[in-house]
Amino acid sequence: MKYRIKKHVEGRDFVSDTPGKALDDCVQAGFRALSVPEIIDLRINASADSHLWTQWYTTASMRAVGYSKQGRAVIVYAHGDIYFKRGAVIRAAIGAGLENGAGVIPLNEFYAMLEREDGKSVFVVDYARVHETFTGELTIEKAVEHPLLVPFCGGEARARRYLQKCREMYGNYVKILHDDDVMERPLARLLYLGNKGALDSLASLESENNCLGIEETRGGLPLQELLVLVQHYVPKVAQGQFLQEVQRFYPSGLNPEMPPPLPQRAELSRPALNRNRLALEVEKK
């Protein structure tokens, strides 16, 4: 007997006019902002009337342009763990001054991105392949050949499926937007997924944000089991501060100003911890 097990997670939009604030709000609510490949996968499987297609999204993906240690001009697309993942970093880059909407990133961060190239979450493209490449609305046939399509989407197979879905929904055209951004210092931008399938690596860091977040699964303990361990192993004088520090992992169940009462030590024994707390739907296959 075989079963298919599906994990259910909550998705939510986080919107702000303040650059980077939506990313921070997402994390503070216990959610994780999705990257371009993740949202594209959702769009591919979504119906035509889905909110996923009618809404544009700021993503946990970025593009950076600069020079390698060998002096070669390159473009890097990174998805997931990116430099501009916190609002404070984004606003610091804005405060330091933007170049046509792009922010300067430290050289060591740019080199670290290059070293992480794996063709899955980090892609590197020679700038010479992209220089003077058309930016704007393309036919699907031309878009397939665009050198930035695959790194933007996070893989060739995904990119082709996405374009096919765009053709089915909107016809034979899609927008691929990008800019030059070659300077002495590395410049970077967040990636946006527009409505009607647009792939936007042109948006300014000062643009408003609309992040799609999913509820973060941290593999941690249920709240009551955590409190048992706190009573066992955290000195009483530090328990209040400890609970304040971990409250963001339990956004719906822990008020740092009035933490739930701890069990009495006399009632405690070493707990048998139940880590299987995901909401699962089991379908007979």
**Quick one: 210 and 232 in the same domain?**
no
Tell me how far apart the alpha carbons of residues 221 and 241 are, in angstroms, rounded to a whole number. Answer: 18
Residues 23, 103 share a domain: yes
Instruction: Judge contact between 153 and 43, C-beta under 8 A.
Output: no
In the chain, how many domains are there? 2
* CB proximity list for 242: less than 8 A, separation 6 or greater: 230, 234
What is the widest separation between alpha-carbon atoms in the chain?
Answer: 73
123 and 60 co-located in one domain: yes
Domain boundary among 215, 233, 251: 215
Q: Are residues 255 and 161 in the same domain?
A: no
- In this structure, the answer to whether residues 131 and 209 fall within a common structural domain is yes
Domain boundary among 194, 215, 236: 215
Look at residue 279 and give its three-state secondary structure.
Answer: coil
Q: Judge contact between 174 and 199, C-beta under 8 A.
A: yes
Write the CA distances from 184 to 10, 254, 269, integer angstroms: 43, 48, 62
Full-model pTM: 0.74
Alpha-carbon gap, residue 141 to 123, rounded angstroms: 22
pLDDT values of the chain reduced to their tens digit, one per residue, 285 residues: 455 545 556 789 999 999 999 999 999 998 999 999 999 999 999 988 898 999 999 999 999 999 999 999 999 999 998 999 999 999 999 999 999 999 999 999 999 999 999 999 999 999 988 877 888 899 999 999 999 999 999 999 999 999 999 999 999 999 999 987 888 899 999 999 998 899 999 999 999 999 999 986 655 566 666 777 777 788 888 887 777 776 656 555 554 444 444 444 444 444 444 443 334 343 434
The range of the structural domain enclosing residue 249 comes to: 223-284
* 227 closest CA partner among 180, 175, 267, 198: 267
Domain's final residue, options 185, 215, 245:
215
